[in-house]
Amino acid sequence: MRITILTTAVLLLSACQPDEVAIPGHTSGSEESHSVEIGPDYSHQLYYSLEEKTVIRQNVKTEWDLGFESAEEGYHIVLNSALYNAVAHVNKEFSSPLQLDSLDWKYDSSKGDLDSTAFGDYRQLTGFFALDLGRNVDGSSRGYIRLQILSHSESEYSIRVADLALTSEDTFTIAKAANTTYTCFSIDRRSVVDIEPHRAGWDLWFTPYTYVFHNPPLPYSVTGVLINPHQVEVAISSDSWENTTYESSTALSFSSQHDVIGYEWKEYNFDSGLYEIDNSIIYVIRSVSGKIYKLRFTDFYNNVGERGYPTFDLVEL
């Protein structure tokens, strides 16, 4: 009995040590409203940092055409689908005549699946590609080119570019950027362009992009939000805005799908001629820095009624 009493006393004393500090509960940030400017003609692409709560880099969408995977082991090539551009493989000699309307045009998957890019695994193919350069900001055609991927390595790519009539031809070496997911290349400038920020510095990409509807396949230009493929993940909460908390977020299933936010938070009303916002969709975002945020869209128009100005509520959980 004496041993039992002594043991109990020791446990009670050890549980009440004066130098112990209680662990505080998790404290969320305050709710803030933010707005970004894609523009009424959907001309801009915006890289947004949730931690800084601001656009950290932006560009006019026509400033680049192709993104070359920057990782040492990377070989994929993606389209700047804000341009509504497309690629067709041509299993012929580079100088062969082309009939554009007979080609099988392909578009990148908006889901960001690198196994579903328009270029595909070009390493297994012979011939070259026809590239539809898409549309200018005013909707006019940017034309077509021939493009052949000559080689790729841990540090660079080599490509051959010519106009359809073969009146002008160039070969370019594209050195992989050190800190971005993709190294961006402009056909107009015939050079690498500084577009994408450091991969660890942004979370959301406000941009037009091409979405392919199915049954039947129909490529369509939409405007929405894509996520940084480097570590950012998103879940959709089934709770109300008020009840979506840090604690409830731990039970959610997060996705790294590129268009998990996408464009469906807004819907065009053909009767009113306006976009309507579904603010019941609550996105829970694990940022590139590992922090958790909740976000809901509240508007797509600025204070003078121009479209292309997404507004959203944001809270760090």
How does pLDDT run across 29-77, given as a tens digit for each residue?
899 999 999 999 999 999 999 999 999 999 999 999 999 999 999 999 9
Identify whether residues 49 and 103 lie together within a single domain. Answer: no
Identify whether residues 162 and 96 lie together within a single domain. Answer: yes
Alpha-carbon span 123 to 126, nearest angstrom: 8
Q: Is residue 3 part of a domain?
A: no
Threshold 0.85, pTM exceeds:
yes
Identify whether residues 105 and 133 lie together within a single domain. Answer: yes
Identify whether residues 140 and 222 lie together within a single domain. Answer: no
How does pLDDT run across 87-145, given as a tens digit for each residue?
999 999 999 999 999 999 999 999 999 999 999 999 999 999 999 999 999 999 999 99
Residue 9 has pLDDT above 90, yes or no: no
> Could you list the residue range(s) of the whole structural domain that residue 277 is in?
32-59+199-316
Nearest to 301 by CA among 261, 259, 269: 269
When the pLDDT of each residue in the chain is averaged and rounded to a whole number, the result is 92
How confident is residue 27, by pLDDT bands cut at 50, 70 and 90? Answer: confident
Identify whether residues 234 and 132 lie together within a single domain. Answer: no
